[in-house]
Chains A and B, each alone.
Chain A
């Protein structure tokens, strides 16, 4: 029907309760409402005259003509009661109409519009459902915990996997922090390798702390907690402490050389301390040294097995000697 005139509204009574729409939007709304309320007779939609003049009053005549000319059945299918779809179809139709001003391939264009609209309808429904599902999932998630999680595209959206993903993200975030702290960790990828590297680093740091505190303890004589009165106790402690110095075997090569040095210095320290205690009791030094020493002991985590235990016992022994 290549008529160029605008059809008058059909004689079929539409629902009289609805006012006549005087804009495209109103028409579409009306259409959807009508569809919702009652199953419209097929004829209503099929009839090309269902695009009334008032619908296209705002459009150009050419536009309206173009639409009107087309296959109404296809158009009807496209407007099958889905408002969104009809809006889309309208947009599609308007773009199509623009194109059609140049070429007048009537049926094909509207059928494409209608098929697109059908697809859009299906997609729209499913997308809407998916979006709704996602939103509910997100809302649920955010209401359960105070973590805001957005389910990305292509990821599972049930609450378990969301929680799992949150957990995994926390862990990977902490791993990145550690990567920044531990030198040489950025070349390594993968959790296991990084964990390995981190463990090695922590161990080496602990060794370093132990070594440094040992050095300080050996080099400064006042840090030793000696009992003033019992000389043989002091001698015993000398032997014990020499044993302590020998025991720790960190992997640092400097240590062997330094340990021998430390021993010699300890001898110096002992002799000088004996001289000191003969001169004056200096109990204040004791307490100070005691606290310092105990700080040293507790500061460095004593990890190596039996020798460390021996060290702790000796420290306890020293304390006991101090307090008698």
Chain B
């Protein structure tokens, strides 16, 4: 009975954790050593922050690109639509 435990089993959680590990850009992916969940979560935090920064940088780059083009060219329109989303 204790194994049923609110429909979410430990295996599912382990599965999710390994999926998360697969997403993270770790250099030691070949060994696929199971790091502890706490470390994984911390890495995920840092990774999400770096992704945010990257998105911001790229958006800025796009914005810079747009400044070099004419304002009403179709490219500018596309970039504007991207930056709006």
**A residues in contact (CB < 8 Å) with B:** 167, 170-171, 174-175, 177-178, 181-182, 190-193, 195-196, 198-199, 201-203, 205-206, 208-209, 212-213, 215-216, 219-220, 254, 258, 261, 265, 299, 301, 303
Beyond A177-B41, A202-B23, 14 additional pairs, beta carbon < 8 A: A174-B42, A175-B41, A181-B49, A190-B8, A191-B13, A201-B48, A209-B58, A212-B55, A212-B62, A216-B65, A254-B81, A254-B82, A261-B74, A261-B78
Q: Secondary structure of the B side of the interface? A: helix
How many angstroms from the CA of A198 to the CA of B20 in the assembled complex?
Answer: 8
Enumerate chain B residues within 8 angstroms of A178, measured Cβ to Cβ: 41, 44-45, 48
- Taking the closest CB of chain B, its distance from the CB of A99, in whole angstroms, is 52
Q: Which residue of A lies closest to B22 (CB)?
A: A303
On whether the beta carbons of A258 and B58 are closer than 8 Å, the reply is: no
On whether the beta carbons of A208 and B55 are closer than 8 Å, the reply is: yes
Enumerate chain B residues within 8 angstroms of A209, measured Cβ to Cβ: 51, 54-55, 58
How many Cβ-Cβ contacts under 8 Å join chain A to chain B?
Answer: 90
How many angstroms from the CA of A195 to the CA of B44 in the assembled complex?
Answer: 11
On whether the beta carbons of A216 and B62 are closer than 8 Å, the reply is: yes
On whether the beta carbons of B58 and A213 are closer than 8 Å, the reply is: yes
Enumerate chain B residues within 8 angstroms of A202, measured Cβ to Cβ: 20, 23, 44, 47-48, 51
How many angstroms from the CA of A167 to the CA of B37 in the assembled complex?
Answer: 9
How many angstroms from the CA of A201 to the CA of B78 in the assembled complex?
Answer: 24
**Chain A to chain B: the 6 pairs with minimum beta-carbon distance, closest first:** A174-B41, A212-B58, A195-B16, A205-B51, A192-B8, A170-B38
How many angstroms from the CA of A192 to the CA of B37 in the assembled complex?
Answer: 13
Q: Which of A181, A193, A303 contacts B23 (CB 8 A)?
A: A303
Q: Secondary structure of the A side of the interface? A: helix
Instruction: Decide if B80 is an interface residue (CB 8 Å cutoff).
Output: no
Chain B window 46-83, contacts with chain A (Cβ cutoff 8 Å), 1 for yes, 0 for no: 01110110110011011001000000001100110110
Among B1-46, those with CB < 8 Å from A are 6, 8, 12-13, 16-17, 19-20, 23, 25, 36-38, 41-42, 44-45
On whether the beta carbons of A215 and B74 are closer than 8 Å, the reply is: no
- Taking the closest CB of chain A, its distance from the CB of B44, in whole angstroms, is 6
On whether the beta carbons of A191 and B58 are closer than 8 Å, the reply is: no
Q: Which residue of B lies closest to A302 (CB)?
A: B25
Residue of A178, A195, A203 contacting most chain B CB atoms (<10 Å): A195
How many angstroms from the CA of A202 to the CA of B45 in the assembled complex?
Answer: 10
Q: Which residue of B lies closest to A182 (CB)?
A: B48
